[in-house]
């Protein structure tokens, strides 16, 4: 037997608010059974692990040891960085190279780091 990834979990102060951000990132709605104020919220994109948001009392204090890496199938990396920043992400580190390689490290509104790599069509 093998294990499968069921969830990518996000600890945060307000699960619904953070789920709204990530819902826009992955272009998939929050489940209709969830509402503002819920202590747990789930986004279940088809073909991928669920995104699970849970309320925790403490704030984030250090860099994530595990993070999500994203790739846009339809926009180029640079256009997707612009889209994510417009949604509320912040750029933490820019590792893009002159030859078009590299990645960008971003932070979601709760402070969780994630990366954006080049699209397959840009390789």
Exposure pattern of 19-49 as b/e (b: 16+ CB <10 Å)?
bbbbbebeeeebeeebeeebeebbbeeeeee
**pTM of the entire structure?**
0.90
Same domain, 49 and 32: yes
62-103 pLDDT, tens per residue? Answer: 888 889 999 988 888 999 999 999 999 999 999 999 888 889
What's the domain count of the chain?
A: 2
| Residue of higher predicted confidence among 104 and 64 | 104
Question: According to the model, what pLDDT value does residue 62 have?
Answer: 85
87 and 41 assigned to the same domain? no
- Band (pLDDT 50/70/90 cuts) for residue 32 is very high
Whether residue 103 is found in the same domain as residue 119: yes
Instruction: Report, as an integer, the average pLDDT of 7-21.
Output: 96
Residues 70 and 48 in one domain: no
**1 part of a folded domain:** no
Domain's final residue, options 15, 38, 57: 57
Range of the domain at 43: 7-57
Residues 11 and 45 in one domain: yes
Q: Is the domain of 71 the same as that of 51?
A: no
């Amino acid at each position: 037997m093998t294990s499968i990834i069921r969830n990518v979990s996000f600890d945060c102060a307000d699960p619904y608010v953070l789920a709204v951000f990530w819902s826009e990132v992955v272009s998939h709605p929050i489940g209709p059974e969830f509402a503002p104020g819920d202590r747990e919220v789930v986004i279940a994109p088809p073909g991928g692990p669920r995104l699970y948001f849970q309320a925790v009392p403490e704030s984030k204090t250090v860099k994530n040891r595990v993070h999500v890496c994203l790739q846009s199938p339809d926009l180029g990396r640079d256009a997707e960085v612009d889209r994510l920043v417009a949604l509320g992400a912040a750029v933490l580190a820019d590792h893009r190279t002159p030859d078009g390689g590299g990645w960008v490290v971003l932070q979601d509104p709760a402070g969780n780091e994630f990366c954006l790599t080049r699209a397959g069509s840009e390789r």
